[in-house]
Amino acid sequence: MRAALREEWQQLIQRRRILLLFISTVLVMLLTAQRTGQLAGMATLAALPLLNAQIGRLFATSLCLALQGWVMLLSPLLAVSAYTVGLQSKMNLTVLVARLLVVWAVMILAIVLTLPFFSLLPLFGSLSLPEIGWAFAVIVVTVLLSGAYGVCWVTVVRNPPAALFLAYSVLMMWLVAGVVIAVWDTQPTSPVVVAVAFNPFAALLAPLAPAFPPDGPIAADLQNLLRFTHGVVDRATPLYRLYIAGSGLLILVLIGIASFAVRPQPRRWQRFDTLFSIVCAIYLVALGMGREWWSVALP
C-alpha cells in the first residue's frame, strides 16, 4: 500500500496540470476577493456605507461559495487525470485506494492555499469560529465526496472523456434539481429539507445564513441567494449536519461501487472487504448514535 501511494503521488504531482491547479485556485480566490471588494465599494459610493460586519459577511460568503464551486469542478477532473496518468499500472484495489487518497490529498492542499484569504475575515469582527469552521467542514466533505464521485465514475466507465462527461452531467442535474425543489416547493417537508440539504451550496450557506443582515445594501442580494438555495426552508435550519452525515454514507457507497468494478473475474471476498465492512458498520453505528445531532434539521 505504501509503495502504491508513493507511486500514485509521484505520477500525479509531477504533472504540470497540478501546478496549474494550485495557481488557478489562488487566482479564483483573488478574483472573487477583488469582485467582492468592488461590490462593497459600489455600496459605499451609493451613500450606503457597509458596516465592517457586513463587509466581512459579504467576503466570507463570496469566498466560501467560490471555493465550494471550484472544488466541485476540479475534483472529478483531477480524478480523471489520475486515472490517465496511471493507465500503465494494473488497476486493483490497492491502486484504487491509493489513487483516491492522492486525489483527496491534492485537493486538500489546494484548500490550504486559500487559508490566507480567510485569515483576514476576523479583522471585520463579523464571523465566529464555529461559523467559519462548519463552512470549511462542508468544503472538506465536498472534496471527499467529489473525489470519490470522480474516481467512481472513471473506474466504472474506464474511458476518461466519457467518465468526465457523465460525472459533470449528473452533477449539473443534481444541482439544478436542488434549485428547482427549493424554488417551487412551498412546504418545508422532510423530503424537501433533505433535497435542499444535499445541495452543496445550501449546505455551505447553512452555518453562515442565520447571521445574514436583515436590512442594508447587501440584504436583498443575500435574500435572493437564499431563495435559490434554501427556498422555503428556514435559514436557521442546520442543513450542513444532514449534508455531512449523508455525504459520509454516499462516500462509502461510491467506494464500494468502485471497488466492485475494479475486481477481476471471478470476484471473491478479500481482506479489503472485511476492513471496508467494518468501516461501514462503524459509520452506521455512529450515525445511529448521533441521530439527534443530524436529525435536528428535519421538521
Q: What is the DSSP string of 28-73?
A: HHHHHHHHHHHHHHHHHHTT-PPPHHHHHHHHHHHHHHHHHHHHHH
CB 245 within 8 A of CB 290: yes
| Lowest-confidence pick of 86-90, 92-96, 115-119, 225-229 | 86-90
pLDDT of 120 higher than 80: no
Distance of CA 64 to the CA centre of its chain: 10
The one-letter code for the residue type at 260 is F
Cell numbers linked to 249: 454514507
pLDDT of 98 higher than 60: yes
**Domain spans in the chain, listed from the N-terminal domain onward:** 2-297
Residues shown for the chain: 299
**pLDDT bracket for residue 248 (50, 70, 90):** very high
Radius of gyration in angstroms for the set of CA atoms belonging to the chain, rounded to a whole number: 21
Cis ω on the peptide bond leading into residue 266 (within 30° of 0)?
Answer: yes
For 9-55, write each residue's pLDDT tens digit.
Answer: 666 666 677 788 888 888 998 898 888 777 666 554 444 444 556 77
For 200-226, write each residue's pLDDT tens digit.
Answer: 999 999 998 887 877 766 777 788 888
The one-letter code for the residue type at 217 is P
- CA 10 – CA 181 distance, rounded (Å): 43
**pLDDT bracket for residue 256 (50, 70, 90):** very high
Cell numbers linked to 52: 465592517
Average predicted confidence (pLDDT) for the chain: 84
- Per-residue CA distances from 44 to 35, 48, 57, 215 (Å): 14, 5, 16, 15
Distance of CA 299 to the CA centre of its chain: 25
**pLDDT bracket for residue 1 (50, 70, 90):** low
Average pLDDT in the 172-181 region?
92
Average pLDDT in the 145-152 region?
94
- Cell 484548500 found at: 111
Distance of CA 138 to the CA centre of its chain: 6
